[in-house]
C-alpha cells in the first residue's frame, strides 16, 4: 500500500510514499525507545531550549511550510501562514512555562516529606488528521515532548509531506534522532504500534468513528488515551445581537479552512425576531467570498482536501434538501474543474432528521435554523451527539452567563468565535471525546502523576 500526496486544487499526484511494513515499524519503535531513554533524562530546561529552536525554525521557514500545507491539503495560503504562527506560539508557550507546570507539588502530611512528581509516561503515539496538518501535531507534540515523552506520529495518509517536514523541524531543532518520529503507515498499522509494549499511550484527533476504534484498541492493550474528535458547534444568535458584526463573524466561524474545522460553527440557531435580517446579511457576505486557487492571497475558499470529502458534503446537502432544507446560495460542487471545489453554501429550514442537523459537516456549508425563544435555542444547541465548542451572540452579559450554565460543550464563547489558545484547555465532551490539550491540563495528560512519600526517621 502507498500514501499519496495529491494537490486537491488540481487532482494531480505530487508524490507517492510506500507504507512501512511490520519489520520497519518494529525497527523504528525500537529506535524511538532508545531515544526516549536519553530524552527523558534531559533537564526540562534543555527540552525547552529544543522547543525554542523548533519555534525559530518554524519562523524562518514560515512561507515554505505554509505553501506545503496549501499544496498538500488546499488551505488558503494566508490561513496556512496563521497556522504556522500558532505552532510557533505553542512551542514558545511550553518552552517558557513547561518547567513550572511540571514542578514538584509539595503536600503537607505532617513531619514527613511528601510531594507529587510528574514523570514522563513513555512513548506516545499521535494519530492525527489532515485539516490543520501542522497545528494539530504541534498542539500535542509540544507538551508531550516537554514532559519528557517520546513521540510517534501517524499522520493522515493524505499529508505525508507535512508529516516528514515536521519530523525535520524537531531533528533540526536538536532533538535526539527518533525522539519525534514520523511513521509512514496507514490506519491498519495503528493496532500493531499500540500493541507494542514500548508504546505507553495514544492521542487521537479525528472523527468519532476513528475515536471509537482506537479507544477500543487502547482498551485491549490497556494504554492511556486522549480523544479529540468531531464537533457540530452551535452558533446562537439572540434577538439583541449586533446583526452586521455577528453575521461577519459567523461567515468566518463557518468558512475558516473551507469549513473543514472541528470547531467551525456548523449549526446557526437564530432567534425568530432577527432571523430574516440575519439570514440576508449572512447570505450576502457568503456570496462575496472568493473561491479559487488557494495559493492566491486573495482566496477565501479553497478546494476540499480530498475527493471523497467533496462527495460526502454534497451527499449531506442533497439528502437534507430532499428532506425540506432550502438552498439560499451554492448547494453544489463547482463544475468543470479537476479540483475538489464546493460552492460556499447557505441552507435554511434545517430540521431534526436531516444530515445537516445531526451529522458533522466538513465543508463550506452553513445550516440555518429559526427558533422561537432562548429556551428553544438551548434545546437545539444541545440536541447533538457532539459537545466540542459553542458560541452565543448577545449584548446582554447576563443572558450570556445563563447560556454558559446550560450548554453541553467543552467550551462556550460569548461574542467571540470559538478558537484554541495554548493558555486555555481544549477538548470536548459526549462524542467529541475526552481529555484535554493545551494549558496545564494538556501537559498533565501524558505524565505519570507520581506520589512520593519520604519518612525522615526509622
454 pairs with which residues across the strands?
A: 113
Q: Among residues 7 and 360, whose Cβ is nearest to ligand NAP? A: 360
Residue nearest to ligand NAP (CB): 206
Q: Among residues 17 and 115, whose Cβ is nearest to ligand NAP? A: 17
Cα-to-chain-centroid distance, residue 11: 25
Pairing of strands 113-120, 447-454: antiparallel
Cα-to-chain-centroid distance, residue 238: 28
Q: Least distance (Å) from ligand NAP to the CB of residue 78?
A: 20
371 pairs with which residues across the strands?
A: 271
d(CA 40, CA 43): 8
* 376 in catalytic set: no
Q: Least distance (Å) from ligand NAP to the CB of residue 378?
A: 22
Q: Least distance (Å) from ligand NAP to the CB of residue 212?
A: 9
134 touches 69 (CB < 8 A): yes
Q: Least distance (Å) from ligand NAP to the CB of residue 86?
A: 13
Listing DSSP states for 103-160 in one string gives S-EEEE-SSSEEEEEEEE--EEEEE--SSSTTHHHHHHHHHHHHTT-EEEEE--TT-H
Q: Least distance (Å) from ligand NAP to the CB of residue 217?
A: 8
331 touches 320 (CB < 8 A): no
Q: Among residues 120 and 428, whose Cβ is nearest to ligand NAP? A: 428
Q: Among residues 148 and 211, whose Cβ is nearest to ligand NAP? A: 211
Joined together, the cell numbers standing for residue 382 give 444541545
Candidates 319, 313, 316, 352; CA nearest to 333 is 313
Measured CA to CA in angstroms, residue 211 lies from 3, 128, 207, 300, 335 at distances of 21, 11, 6, 31, 34
Listing DSSP states for 233-302 in one string gives EEEEE-TTS-HHHHHHHHHHHHHGGGG--TTSEEEEEEEGGGHHHHHHHHHHHHHT--BS-TTSTT-SB-
Other C-beta atoms within 10 Å of 12: how many?
12
Q: Among residues 70 and 432, whose Cβ is nearest to ligand NAP? A: 432
Q: Among residues 6 and 262, whose Cβ is nearest to ligand NAP? A: 262
Candidates 140, 97, 145; CA nearest to 121 is 145
Q: Least distance (Å) from ligand NAP to the CB of residue 413?
A: 15
Pairing of strands 123-127, 233-237: unpaired
Q: Among residues 5 and 131, whose Cβ is nearest to ligand NAP? A: 131
Q: Least distance (Å) from ligand NAP to the CB of residue 132?
A: 6
d(CA 165, CA 304): 22
Q: Among residues 148 and 389, whose Cβ is nearest to ligand NAP? A: 389
Sheet holding 199-205, edge to edge: 180-182, 150-154, 123-127, 199-205, 224-228, 433-434
Q: Could you list the residues that contact ligand NAP (CB under 6 A)? A: 127-131, 136, 154-157, 186-187, 190, 205-207, 210, 213-214, 228-231, 262, 360, 388, 428, 432
* 27 in catalytic set: no
**H or E stretch covering 210:** helix 208-221
5 touches 161 (CB < 8 A): yes
Q: Least distance (Å) from ligand NAP to the CB of residue 431?
A: 10
DSSP label at residue 431: G
Q: Among residues 139 and 271, whose Cβ is nearest to ligand NAP? A: 139
Catalytic: which of 87, 262, 281, 411? 262
Q: Least distance (Å) from ligand NAP to the CB of residue 71?
A: 17
Catalytic: which of 92, 228, 360, 445? 228
Tell me which residues are annotated as active site.
228, 262
Amino acid at each position: 500500500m502507498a500514501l499519496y500526496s495529491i494537490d486537491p486544487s488540481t487532482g494531480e499526484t505530487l508524490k507517492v510514499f510506500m507504507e512501512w511494513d511490520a519489520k520497519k515499524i518494529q525497527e523504528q519503535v525500537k529506535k524511538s525507545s532508545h531515544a526516549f531513554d536519553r530524552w527523558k533524562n534531559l533537564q526540562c530546561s534543555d527540552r525547552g531550549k529544543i522547543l525554542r529552536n523548533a519555534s525559530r525554525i518554524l519562523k524562518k521557514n514560515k512561507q515554505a511550510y505554509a505553501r506545503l500545507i496549501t499544496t498538500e491539503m488546499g488551505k488558503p495560503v494566508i490561513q496556512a501562514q496563521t497556522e504556522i504562527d500558532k505552532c510557533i506560539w505553542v512551542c514558545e508557550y511550553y518552552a517558557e512555562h513547561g518547567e513550572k507546570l511540571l514542578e514538584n507539588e509539595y503536600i503537607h502530611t505532617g513531619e514527613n516529606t511528601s510531594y507529587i512528581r510528574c514523570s514522563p509516561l513513555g512513548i506516545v503515539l499521535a494519530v492525527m488528521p489532515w485539516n490543520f496538518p501542522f497545528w494539530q501535531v504541534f498542539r500535542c507534540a509540544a507538551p508531550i515532548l516537554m514532559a519528557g515523552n517520546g513521540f510517534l506520529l501517524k499522520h493522515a495518509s493524505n499529508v505525508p509531506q507535512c508529516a516528514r517536514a515536521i519530523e525535520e523541524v524537531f531533528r533540526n531543532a536538536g532533538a535526539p534522532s527518533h525522539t519525534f518520529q514520523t511513521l509512514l503507515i496507514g490506519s491498519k498499522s495503528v493496532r500493531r504500534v499500540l500493541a507494542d509494549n514500548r508504546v505507553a499511550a495514544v492521542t487521537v484527533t479525528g472523527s468519532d468513528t476513528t475515536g471509537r476504534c482506537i479507544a477500543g484498541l487502547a482498551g485491549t492493550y490497556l494504554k492511556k488515551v486522549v480523544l479529540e474528535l468531531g464537533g457540530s458547534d452551535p452558533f446562537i444568535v439572540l434577538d439583541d445581537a449586533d446583526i452586521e458584526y455577528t453575521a461577519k463573524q459567523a461567515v468566518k466561524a463557518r468558512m475558516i479552512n473551507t469549513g473543514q474545522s472541528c470547531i467551525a460553527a456548523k449549526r446557526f440557531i437564530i432567534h425568530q425576531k432577527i432571523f430574516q435580517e440575519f439570514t440576508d446579511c449572512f447570505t450576502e457576505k457568503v456570496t462575496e467570498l472568493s473561491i479559487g486557487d488557494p495559493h492566491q492571497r486573495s482566496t477565501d475558499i479553497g478546494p476540499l482536501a480530498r475527493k471523497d470529502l467533496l462527495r460526502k458534503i454534497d451527499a449531506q446537502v442533497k439528502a437534507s434538501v430532499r428532506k425540506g432544507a432550502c438552498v439560499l446560495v451554492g448547494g453544489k460542487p463547482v463544475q468543470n474543474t479537476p479540483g475538489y471545489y464546493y460552492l460556499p453554501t447557505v441552507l435554511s429550514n434545517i430540521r431534526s432528521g436531516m444530515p445537516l442537523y445531526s451529522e458533522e459537516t466538513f465543508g463550506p456549508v452553513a445550516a440555518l435554523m429559526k427558533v422561537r425563544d432562548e429556551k428553544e435555542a438551548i434545546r437545539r444547541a444541545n440536541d447533538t451527539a457532539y459537545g466540542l465548542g459553542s458560541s452565543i451572540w448577545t449584548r446582554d452579559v447576563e443572558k450570556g452567563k445563563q447560556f454558559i450554565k446550560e450548554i453541553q460543550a467543552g467550551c462556550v464563547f460569548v461574542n467571540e468565535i470559538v478558537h484554541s489558545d495554548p493558555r486555555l484547555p481544549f477538548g470536548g465532551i459526549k462524542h467529541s471525546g475526552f481529555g484535554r490539550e493545551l494549558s496545564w491540563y494538556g501537559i498533565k495528560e501524558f505524565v505519570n502523576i507520581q506520589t512520593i512519600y519520604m519518612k525522615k526517621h526509622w
